[in-house]
Structure 1
Amino acid sequence: MKPKHLYFDYLLSSHLYIFALIFVITFPTFICDIVPKNVVYAINCGGEAHVDLDGIQYMKDPSKVGIDYISKKPIDRVNKHDAILYQSERYHHSSFGYDIPIKEDGDYVLVLKFSEIYFTKPYQKIFNILLNDENVVSGLDIYDRAGFCIAHDEIVPFTISRNKLLVNDKQIDIDGSITLTLEKTKYDNPKLNAFYVMKGKPEDIPPLPPISEGSLREDEEEAEEREADDDRDEVDDDDDDDEENLDVSHITNLHKKEDRARKEIIEREKNRKLDLLKRSSKGNSQKEDESFSQNEPVVINPYDEDNSSLVLPVVICVAAFVPILFFLCKI
């Protein structure tokens, strides 16, 4: 039989063990139950309604601004059940945003979810995130922060007090809601996969698991393959362009040579015809003159008649008039 103090110690240790076991089992559930209860607004951007493993209920995207898109690419660093939160997205060719209703004062956390599903190197897509025109995330480059097809969360704490938004040590007047803006820069278009606002502190947010080395290696390999494909495409395009330019220039030169030869032939033919015409016209004129001189009948000009027959009568008249004139003078 055990002594009483040993038996008491045994009971105490067993109770502590059982209590610790119950705490370990129930504490994550307790935390997960707190999170969805404190969430005041959640949207799956560009997608349908979704309930994640933490119990957060995301609404279907009510926005009609910009373009919604859903990718089929697998997303690393997130459970498959919640991958849709990083596959669906809304983007726009200019700045866009959401109005978030907040009714109570208190400390809040804005959780923004992103994944880069297109670009495979940094400095391709960069944009800013604003709350009521106050910059809270400057120059967000998703690929630079996480990589390709890897989940990434941005956490922005803020406070609401007496119709004022307190963020970045600034106070901004509000009227029952705050405005989230994805601000465009010169680097491509802003986008957002999902977001939620929860009442609490940043340490209350369930963190994403760390990025695995395998994901980084796969990301680098895929980026290298994509860049190699792009380089091959550029080389192929350049070769095709060179071949096309060579073909076009060759054909153009042939056409020019053919045009010149054709023009020379036409010019020679034209000159030959002109020579023939000149020769034929000269021969015809000479023949016509000869034939005209040979065949033309002699036409006697009546004004070209001999006037010698008129001389004799005149002489007779003069000879007769002189004696008559002399006789008259004698009288």
Structure 2
Amino acid sequence: MIDLITQTCKHIKVLVLVTFTVQFLSLVQATNKPLQVIYAVNAGGEEHTDRHGIRYEADPLHGVIGTASAYGKQLLMIGRVPQSDEILYQTERYHTANFGYEIPISGDGDYVLVLKFCEVYFNAPNMKVFDVVLNGEHTVIAELDIFQQVGKGVAHDEYIFFTVSRGKLFYKEEESDIKASKITIEFVKTDRDNPKINAFALLKGDVERVPRLPPLNNDDPTERSVEQDIINEDIIEKPTSTKARKTSGPRQPNPYSMDDSSVMLPVFIAIGAFIPLLFCLCKL
């Protein structure tokens, strides 16, 4: 009887150890998983690959709805972005009524929709104001005034975080149905000019590592190449085959690889819990 109890305890120890190890390895794998680019569009413009390796398709709504405009090319520069990526904020699509895009979804998981805007025409706030609605039900941005946010000729990104599970989209405390593995993003007209979008990208994976614009107070165009021309190669999952890109000047250090404390914190916690448990199991 004692031998049976001893064998049972050993089996339980092995089962606990295996279960914890599997969970630990899954946590490490999820933590280090790069972002996957699901879909990206350069609204009103042609195909473009940005400094992070995100490939933006040419606007699929050409000749379908709204108006494509390259008015932003008249500006001398676009603030907060390197010159190579200004095109994403120089071209746009607008419409005199509501309009939007269908966006494909790639299975369950965490997503972030990055919406790119730039006011290239008006010189004052409260001139162009509109809403943004996700999947027909979620008002993710109410009364967006680009000029009020950043001024004229300055890039402004909005980050929309949501989760997909079992055919439903979850945004904050709300949920909606996903049909045919696609969601929608709609730009809704108000009484102040027309809604617009410059570009957008849907990313999946570790959404906390999404590339973000530098702080708004970085207005010196001579400094932007130092901070903004950095290529973050480890945070975006690259296609299997890509053309080599020439970079201007020496390669800069990667800020994401220099400070991963927030990303690795769950790993450290798991290790801290794993070692005492392993010690206790070995003592039994």
| Alignment deviations for residues 232-291 of structure 1 (CA, whole Å, 9 cap, x no partner) | xxxxxxxxxxxxxxxxxxxxxxxxxxxxxxxxxxxxxxxxxxxxxxxxxxxxxxxxxxxx
Deviates more, 1:142-151 or 1:202-211: 202-211
Which whole-Å CA distance do the structure 1 matches of 2:172 and 2:91 have between them? 30
Partner of 1:130: 133
The equivalent residue for 1:183 is 188
Give the match for residue 157 of structure 2. 153
TM superposition shift of 1:212: 3.0
- Tell me the residue number matched to 1:226: none
Give the match's secondary structure for 1:185.
Answer: strand
Q: Equivalent residue for 2:66?
A: 66
1:131, CA displacement in angstroms?
0.8
- Can you give the 5+ residue segments of structure 2 that lack an aligned partner in the other structure? 1-31, 221-284
Q: Is the Cα contact below 8 Å between 1:112 and 1:153 reproduced in 2?
A: yes
Whether the aligned pair in 1 keeps the contact of 2:38 and 2:106 (CA below 8 Å) is no
1:67, 1:92 within 8 Å by CA — same for their partners in 2?
yes
Structure with the larger strand share = 2
The equivalent residue for 1:43 is 41
The residue identity in structure 1 corresponding to 2:108 is D
| Cα deviation code 1:112-163 (max 9, x no counterpart) | 0000001111111110110122101111000011111000000000111101
In 2, the alpha carbon distance for the partners of 1:148 and 1:75 equals 9
Determine whether 1:162 maps to 2:166: yes
2:68 alignment partner AA: D
Select 1:207's aligned residue among 212, 236, 248.
212
Residue type of the alignment partner of 1:88: T
What is the root-mean-square deviation of aligned Cα atoms in Å? 1.8
Identity %: 48
Q: Secondary structure at the match of 1:143?
A: helix
Contact 1:95 1:181 in 2 (8 A): yes
| SS of equivalent residue, structure 1 residue 186 | strand
Aligned position for 2:86? 83
Which amino acid in 2 is paired with 1:58? Y
The 5-angstrom pairing of residues 202-281 of structure 1 reads 202-212=207-217, 214=219
Aligned pair count reads: 183
**Partner Cα distance (1:65, 1:41) in 2:** 20
Q: Does the residue aligned with 2:84 lie in a helix, a strand or coil? A: helix
User: Mapping of 1:1-80 within 5 angstroms?
Assistant: 34-35=34-35, 38-63=36-61, 64-70=64-70, 71-72=72-73, 73=75, 74-80=77-83
* Counterpart residue number, 1:110: 113
TM-score (normalizing by structure 1): 0.53
Quick one: which of 101, 120, 123 aligns to 1:120? 123
Question: What SS does the corresponding residue of 1:117 show, helix, strand or coil?
Answer: coil
Is 1:96–1:183's contact at 8 Å kept on the other side of the alignment?
A: yes
Note the residue ranges of structure 1 that are not aligned, 5 or more in a row.
1-30, 216-331
Alignment-mate amino acid for residue 199 of structure 2: A
Which amino acid in structure 2 is aligned with residue 148 of structure 1? K
Counterparts in 2 of 1:122 and 1:202: CA distance versus 1, 3 Å: farther
Query: Structure 1's 104 and 76: CA in aligned 2 closer, same or farther, altered over 3 A?
Result: same
Q: CA deviation at 1:213?
A: 6.2
Tell me the secondary structure at the aligned position of residue 195 of structure 1.
Answer: strand
In the alignment, structure 1 residue 101 sits paired with structure 2 residue 99: no
* Code of the aligned partner of 1:207: R
- Assess if the C-alpha contact under 8 Å between 2:41 and 2:56 holds in 1: yes
How much does 1:202 deviate? 4.2
Comparing both chains, which one has the higher relative contact order based on Cα–Cα distances under 8 Å and sequence gaps of 6 or more?
2
SS in 2 for 1:34: coil
